[in-house]
Amino acid sequence: MALNIDQTKFLEEAMRKVKEQAFYMKHAMDNEDLKGTLTHASDMLRELRTGLLTPKSYYELYMKVLDELRYVEDYFTGLQKQGKPVVELYEKVQSCGNVLPRLYLLITVAGVYIKSLEAPARDILKDLVEMSKGVQHPMRGLFLRNYLSQVSRDKLPDVGTPYEGEEGGSVQDAYEFILQNFSEANRLWCRMQQQPTNAHNKDKKRREKERQELRILVGTNLVRLSQLQGVEAATYKEHILPRLLEQVVQCKDTLAQSYLMECIVQVFGDEFHIATLDLFLAACTQLKEKVNVRAILEGVMDRLATFAEANPAAIPPHLRTFDMFNTCVSKLLEERPGYSVVEVLRLQASLLNYALHSFPGNLEYLNLALGNCATALADKRAAHQEQAVIVAPLPFALDSEGVEVVERLLTLPLACLALKVLELPHFASLLEFLPWASRRQVGVTLLQAVYNSRAKLSDLESVEKLLEMVVPVIKEEPSSVLGSEEGQALRRQQNGEGGVEDAEEEDEAGASRSRGGGSTGSTENGKARRLEEEQLLLGRLVHVMASPDTDMHFRFLTVARRHFSEAPKDRFQYTFPPLVLATLQLVQRVRRREVAAEGADGKQEGDTQGGRAASEGASEQAAAEDGNGVLGLKKRDVPGVQFGCRKLFQAVHEMLTSLAPHFANLALKLFLEAAQAADRCEADAFKLISYEFVTQAFLLYEDEVTDSKSQIRALTAMIGTLLQARHFDESDYDALSTKVTQYAAKLLKKPDQCRMVALASHLFFVGRADEPGHYHDPKRVIECLQRSVKTADMCMASSQHMHLFVEVLNHYLYFYECGCPTVTEKYLSALVAFINDKRNEAALVGGGPAEGSSRAAEIEAYYKNTLDYIRLKKTQTDNKELADRFSAIQV
Amino acid sequence: MSLFGNLVGGPQARVNIKLTGIDQRMKKEMSSGRGTTHLLPLYQAHEGVGGIVEVILAPGKKLEHLGIKIELVGAIEMLQDRGSVHEFTNLVKELDTAGVLFSDKQYTFDFATVDKPYDSYTGLNVRLRYFLKVTVTRQYAPNLVAEQELVVQSTTQVPESHSSIKMEVGIEDCLHIEFEYDKQKYHLKDVILGKIYFLLVRIKIKHMELAIIRRESAGTGANVMNESETLCKFEVMDGAPVKGECIPLRLFLSSIALTPTYRSVNNRFSVRYYLNLVLVDEEDRRYFKQQEVIFYNKELG
């Protein structure tokens, strides 16, 4: 605090004196009193000799003085214009007794001198940069040299300036000047730290801070160098960079090395960097141990990568920039065994990132970087284990930073590599070093990348590898404390997953937090959602696998199933449906092959085209033959097809069976899907399979589906499936459809009963009479419909039963139109009359549609449309017979 | 009446010395030793001094005299010890024999080959000066006297040898420097160029300066008076250098009031110059090294 107050006081005092002297100085200028001007200017500049100010305050003072020096410059310029030789002024100002004011004045005159072209710029600049050595005080010297740099900025004999020439000098003189000023400034800057003090750490820290504040004074010189028009890449390589690097390396100062290397990277152009990469990298390995070389390397890599992306042809391929970086990194690691593992990893990550951006698709480079990491980690682990024997038997584990780096390292290439990752042998080995949660994260990213790339998995090895990599997405972490398989199982039983989950809880919470405000609910909620997302993602994997060979494709699916089965059962709901559906899809392809193979063999096995009734006998025979297996199937080889449809169905059955106890509704739906798929195979052999699947679905319905809504969904699906099916034996079909109708009639709610029974009625009137495989049972149809009407009438809420009546009326109409013999115009006319009665009744009761008039209006419109339809049919002329029949209905 | 008038009513006559070509002659400012300075005509050692002596009578007066003479005197005066004047040169020329002047009269004079072996000099304790003195000797009235001071300067040939001064000095394990001045002999409008190398720095130096010291010794025998005078202090370096640093030095002499170095002028006085390099440490201790340099006149002025 006291220091601050003092600072303010010192600064104020100095400022006051500067202003005072500046005032006298200007007064002297007005009187054309050169001597007085110089005297007061010197006195003003003398304030800069202070040693009391901190860099910040000194800077303020310096800026103020610089403002005043501009007047001096103008004054000198005026004198020069009047014809006074500047050389006289140049000599005159040097009589000032103090070195600092003398040099400020000298530089000021020099500016005018160079501009006047009365003397070669080169000589003047040389003189200035040399004379400035007179100030050896680091801070004062730095500011002085900054002033020199500023004044000379636009007076260098650069190409295209009036100062260039035989006499004035060339760009070489310009950069020599800047280089010298730079190296002197840098030496002063470094010296600030080296100054011997009896003080302790605090002082050192403060000085470090002060140096940070002053660094720009050194860096400016590099900017000036980069602004020289006449410097070409070759010159830069031959003459400039070596000098800069020499200075940087020689100064042996951590702060300076870090800052200056960064400056060099930032300030000079990309072409320059490309031309001099070898030099630059060589210097990188010579820096002080504490310099963050990685940051510097990343800087260069970023620049080159960005440049290469913008101008792909700009970097000559023979340059092999990656190898250069790699060599540099290897050398660094070799020479600095003290690097922490994390640092090593970070270096490799930078390298990898560079390879990714500059050489997308070059797996060799990526693998190299990953391999380096794996080696580093393996070494570390070996060392750790050696130690662990004696000290503590803890397993080798990365710290959180290391984990983060490795995770990043592995995630980085995913976006552009996707499936090609599988070709990187070191990817997997590196993955092993990560903890479960991180591996899962990498797995998720990998999956996303694969999907984004739209690549397909087409060989078994890749499938296996990929699944192996995403194991953490599939499974929970196996306990690592109890080593053996048995132990794990034991522990799971005891803890019921709980232990593992708890352990994961913490980093989970962290992950969801870091992922942003996505989870508004509890962590538990977020976790569940995350799990769902991940599992769905995993499920998609099934669709990425593809092979023209169905056997191979099935193998893929089998492998996937094997992996998925190892997951906790609650995850089956996400991963199994895709598997099942993919298998069912495959069935179609296998079936085609089978049919083709059978055709080729000339063996017409069964009548694949035959209807239900026609193939009855054959199917019985098939059933008798297939006496074994879960589905009553026996493997029958079709030549060339290793895994036939039966095998596939068997797999589906197994999967669904394992799914059923936990997710009945889902399993039910999938059983029905499977049944349809089997039915589509259009061979008698599959009738039984289809029947078995439907049966399984029905059993599930009976045992597991209990709530009304699910029941309705299930029933609708069941009815749909049966309607689709064409190849059941009549007796089987009869049994199944009867069963469904019974289910429908037993529903809890009347409206549900009504609707479902009406829907079930369709089961008894399938196909037109002239179609093969049609099934007509008109009596059952009318029974169902009548039952529906009755049930609807039993419903209490008028608005509801009105709707039901109209619905049933529509069913009636359908069957009437189809020509179902039991559905006669009598029923229709009666129902219409009945509905009309009900309407009038409701109107009488008092504007019935009090609750939800929109609903009432809806029903009214529905009814009206239905009636309109009937009227339309009556007038339809293209089908005379139908029109006649409709005319019989009284509306 | 006239006698009375002679005694009371102002000078009967004035005597002026008019030097030949005075207007064109180079002048030099000389201090007369009491803080005042005069602009005086400048002569080189071998140059003749000639001119006209005018005797101007007051209107209607006559001047009776016993003779008119002009002297050219070169004298060394000890300032502290008034009256101790040593005339090393005294040449007399009779301008007129005793007689009476009734009107203004002019006499030409010419000291064509007078030896003026020494330069004019005004120091702290000693002064060397040349002057012309016209004396109109009268019998009863005091003599009429007129003086005209001259400045004599000799120029020296540019010395053949330009050997520099180079020297390594130091305090063991503390400070070692090597300094170099580009010449041993500088003319008065010259520039001293130099370099100071720091070979070893173990003290915290605050700054470094170069001083020019004039050492004047005057008198003979037991009466020798030595006097040192710092003519200028010129800061050369600000702050502490590190080992290996080389600090440039450039000092323009023209703005400093120097004279040439004089060694044993007429065995009565010497003026020598020294460059004194001073390093001041943070505790204001001074480390210095003096080195004599010779100054000479290359050209008049």
| A293 vs A277: CA distance, rounded Å | 15
Confidence of residue B163 (pLDDT cuts 50, 70, 90): confident
Q: Does residue B28 carry a pLDDT above 50?
A: yes
Spatial neighbors of A110 by CB under 8 A, at least 6 apart, are A90, A124, A125, A127, A128, A151, A152
Domain count, chain A: 3
Q: Does residue A26 carry a pLDDT above 90?
A: yes
Question: Would you tell me how many other CB atoms lie within 10 Å of the CB of residue A401?
Answer: 14
Question: Is residue A729 in some structural domain?
Answer: no
Q: What is the pLDDT of residue B171?
A: 87
Question: Is residue A687 in some structural domain?
Answer: no
CB contact under 8 A, A133 and B247: yes
Question: Is residue A242 in some structural domain?
Answer: no
The interface predicted TM-score (ipTM) is 0.86
Q: What is the pLDDT of residue A797?
A: 61
Question: Is residue A778 in some structural domain?
Answer: yes
Q: Classify A266 as helix, strand or coil.
A: helix
Alpha helices in A230-340 (DSSP H): 233-235, 241-251, 254-267, 270-284, 293-310, 321-335
- Taking any CB pair shorter than 8 Å as contact, residues of chain A touching chain B are 49, 91-92, 94-95, 97-100, 102, 130-131, 133-138, 140-141, 187, 191, 194-196
Q: Does domain B165-296 have CATH number 3.90.550.10?
A: no
Q: Which residues of chain A have a CB within 8 Å of the CB of B190?
A: none
Give the whole-number percent of chain B exceeding pLDDT 70: 94
Q: What is the pLDDT of residue A627?
A: 39
In the structure encoding, which two tokens stand for residue B206, read together?
């605050």
Q: Are A15 and A61 spatial neighbours (Cβ–Cβ below 8 Å)?
A: yes
| A86 vs A79: CA distance, rounded Å | 8
Confidence of residue A637 (pLDDT cuts 50, 70, 90): low
Q: What is the mean pLDDT of residues B137-147?
A: 87
Q: Which B residues in the span 182-241 are in contact with A, Cβ-Cβ below 8 Å? A: 204, 207, 232-241
Q: Which residues of chain A have a CB within 8 Å of the CB of B189?
A: none
Q: Which residues of chain B have a CB within 8 Å of the CB of A196?
A: 204
Express each pLDDT in B209-263 by its tens digit. 999 999 999 888 777 889 999 999 999 999 999 899 999 999 999 989 899 999 9
Q: Which residues of chain A have a CB within 8 Å of the CB of B247?
A: 133-134, 136
Confidence of residue A266 (pLDDT cuts 50, 70, 90): very high
Q: Classify A681 as helix, strand or coil.
A: coil
Enumerate the domain spans of chain B: 13-153, 165-296
Q: Which residues of chain A have a CB within 8 Å of the CB of B255?
A: 92, 95
Question: Is residue A239 in some structural domain?
Answer: no
* Among A632, A653, A733, residue whose Cα is nearest residue A700: A653
Mutation site for B-interface testing, chosen from A136, A187, A193, A195 by largest number of B Cβ within 10 Å: A136
Mutation site for A-interface testing, chosen from B238, B242, B252, B258 by largest number of A Cβ within 10 Å: B238
Q: Which of A93, A119, A145 is the last residue of a domain?
A: A119
Q: What is the mean pLDDT of residues A241-261?
A: 92
DSSP state of A748: S
- Chain B residue with the nearest C-alpha to that of A127: B248
Q: What is the mean pLDDT of residues A241-263?
A: 92
Alpha helices in A746-878 (DSSP H): 750-760, 778-794, 798-818, 825-846, 853-875
Distance from CA of B279 to the nearest CA of A (A): 13
The closest CB to that of B255, out of A49, A95, A138, belongs to: A95
Return the sign of the alpha-carbon dihedral for residues A154, A158, A160, A164. positive
Distance from CA of B193 to the nearest CA of A (A): 11
Distance from CA of B92 to the nearest CA of A (A): 46
Q: Are A220 and A155 spatial neighbours (Cβ–Cβ below 8 Å)?
A: no
Q: Which residues of chain A have a CB within 8 Å of the CB of B245?
A: 133, 136
Question: Would you tell me how many other CB atoms lie within 10 Å of the CB of residue B104?
Answer: 12
Query: Which class does domain B13-153 fall in?
Result: mainly beta
Mutation site for B-interface testing, chosen from A34, A99, A130 by largest number of B Cβ within 10 Å: A99
Q: Which residues of chain B have a CB within 8 Å of the CB of A135?
A: 237-239
Amino acid at A687: K
CB contact under 8 A, B207 and A99: yes
Angstrom distances, CA of residue A683 to CA of A554, A691, A766, A768, B37: 21, 13, 20, 22, 138
Question: Number of residue pairs across A and B with CB atoms under 8 Å?
Answer: 57
- Chain A residue with the nearest C-alpha to that of B203: A196
Mean pLDDT of chain A: 81
Q: Are A724 and A676 spatial neighbours (Cβ–Cβ below 8 Å)?
A: yes
Q: What is the pLDDT of residue A14?
A: 95
- Chain A residue with the nearest C-alpha to that of B233: A97
CB contact under 8 A, A99 and B233: no
| B255 vs A155: CA distance, rounded Å | 30
Q: Does residue A24 carry a pLDDT above 90?
A: yes
Q: Which of A92, A119, A146 is the last residue of a domain?
A: A119
Q: Which of A88, A104, A119 is the last residue of a domain?
A: A119
Query: Beta strand A775-776 with A765-766: parallel, antiparallel or unpaired?
Result: antiparallel
Distance from CA of A105 to the nearest CA of B (A): 15
The closest CB to that of B248, out of A49, A91, A134, belongs to: A134
| A793 vs A800: CA distance, rounded Å | 10
- Chain B residue with the nearest C-alpha to that of A46: B238
Q: Does residue A614 carry a pLDDT above 80?
A: no
Q: What is the pLDDT of residue A263?
A: 94
Q: Classify B17 as helix, strand or coil.
A: strand
Q: Which residues of chain A have a CB within 8 Å of the CB of B233?
A: 97
Q: What is the pLDDT of residue A283?
A: 92
pTM for the model stands at 0.71
Confidence of residue A143 (pLDDT cuts 50, 70, 90): very high
Q: Are A760 and A741 spatial neighbours (Cβ–Cβ below 8 Å)?
A: yes
Confidence of residue A503 (pLDDT cuts 50, 70, 90): very low
Q: Is pLDDT larger for residue A624 or for residue A711? A: A711
Return the sign of the alpha-carbon dihedral for residues A56, A62, A64, A70. negative
CB contact under 8 A, A99 and B241: no
CB contact under 8 A, A99 and B236: yes
Angstrom distances, CA of residue A46 to CA of A41, A97, A140: 8, 10, 11
Q: Does residue B33 carry a pLDDT above 70?
A: no
Spatial neighbors of A339 by CB under 8 A, at least 6 apart, are A332, A333, A347
CB contact under 8 A, B232 and A97: yes
For residue A764, give the H/E element and its range: none
Distance from CA of B247 to the nearest CA of A (A): 6
The closest CB to that of A191, out of B204, B235, B242, belongs to: B242
CB contact under 8 A, A130 and B248: yes
The closest CB to that of B252, out of A94, A100, A131, belongs to: A94
Q: Which residues of chain B have a CB within 8 Å of the CB of A91?
A: 252, 254
Express each pLDDT in A433-488 by its tens digit. 888 888 888 888 888 888 888 878 788 888 888 888 888 888 777 765 434 343 33
Residue ranges making up the domain that contains A841: 752-891
Same fold, B13-153 and B165-296: yes
Q: What is the mean pLDDT of residues A69-95?
A: 94
CB contact under 8 A, B233 and A135: no
In the structure encoding, which two tokens stand for residue A426, read together?
């070191």
Question: Is residue A528 in some structural domain?
Answer: yes
* Among B111, B110, B107, residue whose Cα is nearest residue B95: B107
The closest CB to that of B245, out of A49, A136, A137, belongs to: A136
CB contact under 8 A, B207 and A140: no
Q: What is the pLDDT of residue A535?
A: 85
CB contact under 8 A, A136 and B237: yes
Give the whole-number percent of chain A exceeding pLDDT 70: 86
Which of A122-131, A522-531, B79-88: highest mean pLDDT?
A: A122-131
Alpha helices in A706-777 (DSSP H): 708-724, 730-745, 750-760
Least confident of A288-302, A428-442, A512-526, B208-222: A512-526
Q: Is pLDDT larger for residue A631 or for residue B103? A: B103
CB contact under 8 A, A98 and B235: yes
Task: Tell whether B247 lies on the interface with A, counting CB pairs under 8 A.
Answer: yes
Question: Is residue A245 in some structural domain?
Answer: no
Q: What is the mean pLDDT of residues A50-54?
A: 90
Spatial neighbors of A136 by CB under 8 A, at least 6 apart, are A188, B237, B238, B239, B240, B241, B242, B245, B247
In the structure encoding, which two tokens stand for residue B48, read together?
């003749």
In the structure encoding, which two tokens stand for residue A279, read together?
């030099």
Q: Does residue A497 carry a pLDDT above 50?
A: no
Q: What is the mean pLDDT of residues B124-148?
A: 89
- Per-residue 3-state assignment (H helix, E strand, C coil) for A111-155: HHHHHHCCCCHHHHHHHHHHHHHHECCHHHHHHHHHHHHHHHCCC
Q: What is the pLDDT of residue A60?
A: 94
Q: Does residue A206 carry a pLDDT above 60?
A: yes
Name the phi and psi angles at A338, rounded to 5.
-80, -5
Question: Is residue A887 in some structural domain?
Answer: yes
Amino acid at A50: T
Return the sign of the alpha-carbon dihedral for residues A396, A399, A403, A406. negative
DSSP string, A617-677: HHHHHHHHH--SSTTS-----BTTBSS-HHHHHHHHHHHHHHHTTT-HHHHHHHHHHHHHH
| β-bridge mates for residue B278, sequence order | B209, B288
Express each pLDDT in A546-556 by its tens digit. 888 888 888 88
- Chain B residue with the nearest C-alpha to that of A194: B242
